[in-house]
Structure 1
Amino acid sequence: MSDAFRNRADAGKQLAAALERYAGRKDLVVLALPRGGVPVGYEVASVLRCPLDLLLVRKLGAPHNAELAMGAIATGDALYLNDSVLRALHVSEQQVADAIARERIELNRRELAYRGQQPPAVVEGKTVIVVDDGIATGSTMHAALSALRNRRPKQIVVAVPVCPAGIEARFESVADDFVYVMQPDWFMGIGQFYVDFAQTSDDEVRACLAAAQTFQQTTPPGDGGGARTASPEGGPV
């Protein structure tokens, strides 16, 4: 393994290898965080031969620094606020409310654009692997898991290609397992660990979901995942 992933597909393949112990389970579902987590989640679901769906969540960017997460919202009115960031930046209640309202619009847009009228995957009583392209502060993932808990899964696994050292401790109360590929001591941002970290488009998200439907439908019952499939980016998985 190098110190950088070629792209999100490469990161997904490496993450799938780290999740090998979950292969073959019949109760398995992969939920990917749009948009960047979807190409990663596609590769994981392809290798593990399980359904792929979305867990919609939006970061709440801090005032004057949209890249810094002061919290996040997710489908189902789930909200997570990073109190330490709020205190350090002296963020007002009105600024938080404005950010929530703004991101709620985009969350609803993506729900319609990606899922249409299709209902979310059933996760009650199942093992759910929640995938993103990386974790920085953890706010986005925390909001996602808050929403997911309300759907009563049996087990929640957080899985990311890269995250800061020691951050898994923040998820001990909300996740049953935490899986990663790289955990560098020096961490400035997720993008520094990708050669290609171009923004994932809505079309790419839809392509991943469509491709996942295809391989799920064509996988014979009991197939352990030995067949190779075409990835949305082209070429064998």
Structure 2
Amino acid sequence: MIGTHWLMLFGAILASWATLYTMAIPPELREASRLFGAEFWIALCTITPDLAGYGRVALMWLLMSTAMMLPTVLPAFAAYDDLKQTSAETSFYGLASGFIVVWAGFAFIAAGLQMALFHFDLVSGFGDSRSIWLSVALLAIAGGYQFSELKEACLSKCRAPLTFFMQYWGESPLKMGLRLGATCLGCCWALMLLAFVGGVMSLAFMGLATLIMTLEKLPDIGRWMSRPLGFALLGASGVMAVSGF
């Protein structure tokens, strides 16, 4: 039988994706369908970040982080659930809370970055790059980071969750969740920032990025895709720099 904590976790993932999908619906369709809170969604998604305000942009990034990152860490949560046979639900909430706190911090930073880039007219009101050189730089950073020792160290922990939890088993669930979140952030921050290339509100980018980051953390698949992904990103950066688009 699936525990309540798992139902809540899957519910958070589905609710985040459903909210992002609703936000991506064109304003005229929202109004026509009379979606609940249509005015709120329109204000959140279709006006420029300076009018929407930092808080709403941060909320959007928090939803993105929840929708995209929780699926990538499901194997780690399952490993923890297997290890923690007693009081599993209580400790599971602590673990998940620590993980979300780290990505909430990333969401706040990413929202501030989006506001700054918009201020300098480097991204549009929807968060996609207006500057070829910004896109080139982000692709190059993400591609180069694929070959870094820090990325490899973080991936090695994400790919071996049992070893990770046994190493820090004496710590509180919240602290382990913070560690797990920081490790996950070390794996994925550069790929997440490619949202400014693919479009912050692009469901296609979110779906593809979630799939890539999830597969990269699987030991049997991820070890074969990290470097090719790095070469692909660096190649895309080079092509964009030479071609101008």
Q: How would you bin the TM-score normalised by the shorter chain?
A: under 0.3
Indicate the structure with greater helix content: 2
Specify the structure having the higher radius of gyration (Cα).
2
* TM-score with structure 2 setting the length: 0.23
* TM-score with structure 1 setting the length: 0.24
Indicate the structure with greater strand content: 1
